[in-house]
Amino acid sequence: MNELSPTVFLIAAAVKVLAVFTALMVAIMYATWAERRLSAFIQDRLGPNRVGPFGLLQPIADGLKNIIKEETSPATASRFFFVLGPMLSIMPALVTFAVIPFAAPLPTPWGTVDMIVADLPVGVLYILAISSLGVYGIFLGGWSSNNKYALLGGLRASAQMVSYEVGLGLSLIPVMMLAGNVTLTRMVADQQLGLWYILPLSLGFLLFLISAFAETNRLPFDMPEAESELVTGYHTEYSSMKFSMFFIAEYAHVITASALMATLFLGGWDIPFWTGDNFIPYEGGLISGFTAAGDPIPAQLSIWTTLLTLGAFMLKTTFFVVLYIWVRWTLPRFRYDQVMHLGWKVMLPTALAYVMLVGATILVLDQLGVTGGPGFALALTAVSLVATGMFALYLDRGRIITGAAPAGRAARAAPAAHP
C-alpha cells in the first residue's frame, strides 16, 4: 500500500467528507420519499407521484416548504435549549457515518485512498458512543418545549435509549470476539475471508436488529413519538425547519443503522462469491486472499471494483432501509411496559447468554485446535442457529404480548393485545 502524503490525505479527507455528507443527505431525502411511497403501496395507495417522475422531486418540494413555513416558538419554551435540541439531535446521526467503510479502496495517482471518512481503530466503540448522543437532542427538545406531551416523549426516549443501549452493546460483543478487534475495516476484511457474520452470529444479528429499531425510535418502538398517545411526542412544539431537523435526524439514524448492520453482519461492501473485491490489509499491503500453499495474492485495485463494491454496499443498506419501512407499516406500537419488558427481561439476558455461548464455543474450538477456516465458522453457525431457534421458541410463547398482564387463567380469558 503506497501511503498518501499529508497534503493528499487532507484533500482526500475533505473531498470524502463532502461527498459522504452530500450522499447521506440525498439518501435521507429519498428515504423519506421511499417511506411515503412504500407506505402507500402497503396501504393500496399510490403515494406522492406528482412532483417529477414517480414523485422523485417530492423531497425537494418538502424541503422548500419547510424552509418557507412560519417558525413558531412557544412563549413558555426555554429558548436556548429549544434551539439546541434539533442541532444536538442531527449532529450525532450524521457524524456516526464517518467510520463506516462504504467501498473498496480507490487507486489514485497519488496513492490508495480508503473509502471511509475516518478509519478509526476504535470504530465500533465510537459508534456506540456517538449514536446514543442523539437522545440528548430528543430529550432537550422535549423538555425545553414546556409541553407535557413533549416531555413525556423525551422521557420515554431516554428510558428506551438506556434500555436498548445495553442490548445493542452486548449484541456487538460476539462480533468483536469473532473479528478480534473493533475496527470496522478489519471486520469487513474478516468477513471477506470467511462467512458473513450474519451466519455464525445469527442471534447477535437478530438482537442487534431489534435494538437498532429501538435505538432509532422507529415503529414498533416509536415510544417518543407515539402519535396516538402523545400528539407527536418530543417534537410537538417544533415547526418548519426545526421540525425538519428532527425528521432528518431520524432518517439519518435509520440510514446509519442500516449501513452499520450491512457492515457488521452482511460483509459491508463485500460482493459475495467473488474474490476480486477482497482487499485485506496484510503485512503492509493489500491482498485478495491466499493461495492453497498459503502465499498471499496481491490485490488488483481498480476504479471499477470500487464502484461495484459501492453499489453492493448501497444495495445492502437499501435493503435494511426498506426493511425498516416495511416493519414500520406492518407492526403496531408496543405498549411502554412491553418495551421495557422486552428490553430488560428478554434482550439483556439473551444477549448476555449469547455472549457467554459464543465465547464458550470459541474457547472450546480453540482447545480442539480449530481457530479459523470453514470448520470454525460452520460450528459457530450451527451453535448460533440453535440459539436463534431457542430464542424464537421463547418469543413464540407470547411472553411479550401478555407483558405486564397477570399470568394464569385470568390473563388467558382476557382479550389479548395482539399484533
| Residues at the interface with other proteins (CB under 8 A) | 38, 40-46, 49, 326-327, 329-331, 392, 395-402, 405, 411-412, 414-416, 418-419
Nearest approach, Cβ of residue 209 and other proteins (Å): 12
The smaller minimum CB distance to other proteins, of residues 57 and 395, is found at 395
C-alpha cell at 119: 478509519
Q: Measured between alpha carbons, how far apart are the two ends of the chain, in Å?
A: 53
384 CA to centre of own chain: 21
Count the neighbouring beta carbons within 10 Å of the beta carbon of residue 80: 10
Question: Residue 248 Cβ, how far from other proteins at the closest point, in Å?
Answer: 25
Rounded to a whole number of angstroms, the minimum distance from the CB of residue 291 to other proteins is: 44
Provide the minimum distance between the beta carbon of 96 and other proteins in the complex, in angstroms, as a whole number. Answer: 27
We find the least distance from the C-beta atom of residue 264 to other proteins, in angstroms, to be 22
Q: Which is nearer to other proteins, 44 or 295 (CB)?
A: 44
Instruction: Report the residue number, 48 or 123, with the smaller CB distance to other proteins.
Output: 48
Of the two residues 109 and 409, which places its CB atom closer to other proteins in the complex? 409
Residue bearing cell 490485490: 299
Q: Which is nearer to other proteins, 374 or 389 (CB)?
A: 389
In the complex with other proteins, which residue's Cβ is closer, 44 or 283?
Answer: 44
Give 346's contacts (C-beta < 8 A, 6+ positions apart).
394, 395, 399, 400
Cα distances from 283 to residues 70, 72, 107, 286, 287, in angstroms, run 59, 59, 19, 8, 9
Residue closer to other proteins, measured from CB, 49 or 78: 49
Choose between 374 and 398: whose C-beta lies nearer to other proteins. Answer: 398
Smallest distance, other proteins to C-beta of residue 163, A: 18
State the minimum distance, in angstroms, from the CB of residue 173 to other proteins: 24
Cα–Cα distance list, 407 to 99, 256, 417 (Å):
46, 39, 14
Quick one: which of 319, 257, 301 has its CA closest to 114? Answer: 301
Q: Which is nearer to other proteins, 18 or 414 (CB)?
A: 414
Distance between CA atoms of residues 294 and 309, nearest Å: 26
Amino acid sitting at position 371: T
Distance CA 402, CA 41 (A): 31
Q: How far is the CB of 407 from other proteins (least distance, A)?
A: 10
Smaller CB distance to other proteins: residue 363 or 411? Answer: 411
- Least gap, CB of 399 to other proteins (angstroms): 8
Nearest approach in angstroms of CB 317 to other proteins is 19
CA distance 257 to 267: 14
